[in-house]
């Protein structure tokens, strides 16, 4: 159903009104993992998988939300919105509505249809795509406008405060501000950013390991706590270091012995990853794909060994790609412990690469992976 006219008819049949349609993309992070909450750098690209949101006004005081992916409709009272999420997919769009209300907007009754081809819960950020598509649809209905970075922040707050997921700003930011054929270097401290062109002979091949492990005590929060504990040790000597963004590898040399060994390793990853991410953007700007590939390899090693954020399957997916023709760079992308690898591959080799990688991975692990050949696309917008 990539065809918006099919989506339009679906909305019309269900809700009896013609919708305005908005689209917001998923994303893949090329480099910069677990740096966002340390106020560091990330470099994602929006991809050509996206979420559509169709919206039309209602006169019965209700907010009705239908997800084609779940085949389910939920109804709310526009005058009595829930204050918190309910562990349901509708939390994401309702979180956005709730945040907009908190910003002082009067929320009218409306019907909202959702459809997405971003694989759900696979690390390609279907959640941010849903938030951003909903936000621009509702904003259009109520006549609100926000600059891109502010809109991204509102959607992040919906996920943090309403859904209850402690995510950084990257996903929402790139879904709003992505640009066709470009990666985006984002400074998570002040939300300033720089676009770097991805040459058109390069494809983004995303390989889903189909596994998601969790470590004792919760994976993402555990790693976050460990790296923040290292930062606190540095800050006790050098108060100008509220976040690892402000720390250096020399700080780690000097005071690393005061840290828990695991904390020190996590911090080493985060501090060095910031340097690699900035360098990766410079490499892209110069068109130096070889250097970019080298930085991605180093990033994966650091993520796997120092951060211990990888897993057997993801390490296998990276290893098995190494000698395939056309590979420029490969690494595990996203929060870790499974999910997808991102592979920069010569476009002319991409189809063969994807096929061969799938065969090798299945032979090694017994799991059939999903492999997508993507390109960097533009940010969220209205479809005419």
How many CB atoms lie under 10 A from the CB of residue 81?
A: 14
**Sign (positive or negative) of CA dihedral 356, 359, 364, 367:** positive
What would the two tokens of residue 340 be?
A: 């997808």
Beta carbons of 360 and 371 less than 8 angstroms apart: no
**From 10-18, 117-125, 192-200, 267-275, span contacting Mg ion (CB under 5 A):** 117-125
What would the x/- binding string for Mg ion be over residues 70 to 109, using CB under 5 A?
----------------------------------------
In the list 56, 67, 98, 172, the residue contacting ligand ADP (rule: CB under 6 A) is 67
What would the two tokens of residue 57 be?
A: 């006004």
Q: How far is CA 102 from its chain centroid? A: 25
In the list 1, 6, 79, 121, the residue contacting ligand ADP (rule: CB under 6 A) is 121
Beta carbons of 253 and 230 less than 8 angstroms apart: no
* Per-residue burial over 130-162, b = 16 or more CB atoms within 10 Å of its CB, e = otherwise: bbbbbbbbbbebeebebebbebbbbbbbbbbbb
Beta carbons of 54 and 112 less than 8 angstroms apart: yes
Taking the complex as a whole, the smallest distance from the CB of residue 127 to Mg ion amounts, in Å, to: 3
Nearer to Mg ion, 176 or 281 (CB): 176
171 classed as catalytic: yes
**From 37-45, 118-126, 209-217, 256-264, span contacting Mg ion (CB under 5 A):** 118-126
By CB under 5 A, residue 175 contacts Mg ion: no
Taking the complex as a whole, the smallest distance from the CB of residue 52 to ligand ADP amounts, in Å, to: 9
**Burial (Cβ within 10 Å: 0-12, 13-18, ≥19) of residue 73:** middle
Expressed in angstroms, the distance from the first to the final Cα of the chain is 17
Report the length, in residues, of the chain: 384
Taking the complex as a whole, the smallest distance from the CB of residue 155 to Mg ion amounts, in Å, to: 11
By CB under 6 A, residue 211 contacts ligand ADP: no
Taking the complex as a whole, the smallest distance from the CB of residue 334 to Mg ion amounts, in Å, to: 9
Q: 36, 91, 171, 274: which is the annotated catalytic residue? A: 171
**Sign (positive or negative) of CA dihedral 379, 71, 121, 375:** negative
By CB under 6 A, residue 302 contacts ligand ADP: no
In the list 127, 172, 208, 377, the residue contacting Mg ion (rule: CB under 5 A) is 127
Beta carbons of 139 and 107 less than 8 angstroms apart: no
Beta carbons of 289 and 283 less than 8 angstroms apart: yes
To 10 degrees, what angle do helices 261-286 and 219-237 make?
A: 90
Taking the complex as a whole, the smallest distance from the CB of residue 371 to ligand ADP amounts, in Å, to: 17
By CB under 6 A, residue 130 contacts ligand ADP: yes
Taking the complex as a whole, the smallest distance from the CB of residue 122 to ligand ADP amounts, in Å, to: 6
In the list 7, 41, 89, 303, the residue contacting ligand ADP (rule: CB under 6 A) is 89
Segment 20 to 59, residues that bind ligand ADP, using CB under 6 A:
51
By CB under 6 A, residue 134 contacts ligand ADP: no
Catalytic residues: 171
**Which parts of this chain interact with ligand ADP (CB under 6 A)?**
51, 67, 69-70, 89, 92, 114, 116, 120-127, 130
């Amino acid at each position: 159903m990539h065809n918006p006219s099919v989506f339009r008819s679906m909305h019309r049949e269900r809700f009896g009104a013609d919708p305005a349609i908005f689209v917001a993309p998923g994303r893949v992070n090329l480099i910069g993992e677990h740096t966002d909450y340390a106020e560091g750098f990330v470099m994602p690209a929006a991809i050509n998988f996206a979420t559509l949101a169709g919206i039309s006004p209602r006169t019965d005081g209700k907010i009705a939300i239908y997800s084609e992916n779940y085949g389910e409709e939920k109804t709310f009272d526009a005058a009595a919105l829930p204050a918190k999420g309910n562990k349901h997919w509708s939390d994401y769009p309702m979180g956005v509505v709730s945040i907009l209300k908190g910003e002082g907007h009067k929320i009218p009754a409306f019907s909202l249809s959702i459809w997405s081809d971003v694989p759900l819960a696979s690390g390609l950020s279907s959640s941010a795509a849903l938030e951003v598509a909903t936000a621009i649809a509702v904003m259009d209905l109520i006549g609100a406008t926000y600059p891109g970075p502010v809109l991204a922040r509102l959607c992040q707050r919906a996920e943090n405060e309403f859904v209850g997921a402690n995510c950084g700003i990257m996903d929402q930011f790139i879904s709003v501000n992505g640009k066709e054929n470009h990666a985006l270097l984002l400074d998570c401290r002040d939300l300033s950013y720089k676009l770097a062109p991805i040459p058109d002979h390069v494809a983004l091949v995303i390989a889903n390991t189909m596994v998601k492990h969790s470590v004792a005590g919760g994976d993402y929060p555990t790693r976050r706590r460990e790296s923040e504990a290292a930062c606190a040790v540095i800050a006790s000597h050098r108060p100008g270091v509220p976040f690892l963004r402000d720390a250096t590898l020399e700080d780690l040399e000097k005071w690393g012995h005061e840290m828990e060994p695991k904390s020190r390793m996590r911090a080493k990853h985060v501090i060095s990853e910031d340097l690699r991410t900035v360098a990766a953007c410079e490499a892209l700007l110069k068109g130096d794909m070889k250097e970019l590939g080298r930085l991605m390899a180093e990033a994966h090693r650091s993520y796997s060994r120092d951060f211990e954020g990888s897993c057997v399957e993801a390490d296998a997916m990276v290893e098995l790609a190494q000698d395939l023709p056309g590979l420029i760079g490969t690494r595990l992308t996203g929060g870790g412990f499974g999910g997808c690898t991102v592979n920069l591959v010569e476009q002319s080799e991409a189809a063969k690469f994807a096929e061969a990688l799938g065969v090798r991975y299945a032979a090694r692990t017994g799991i059939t992976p999903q492999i997508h050949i993507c390109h960097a696309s533009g940010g969220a917008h209205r479809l005419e």
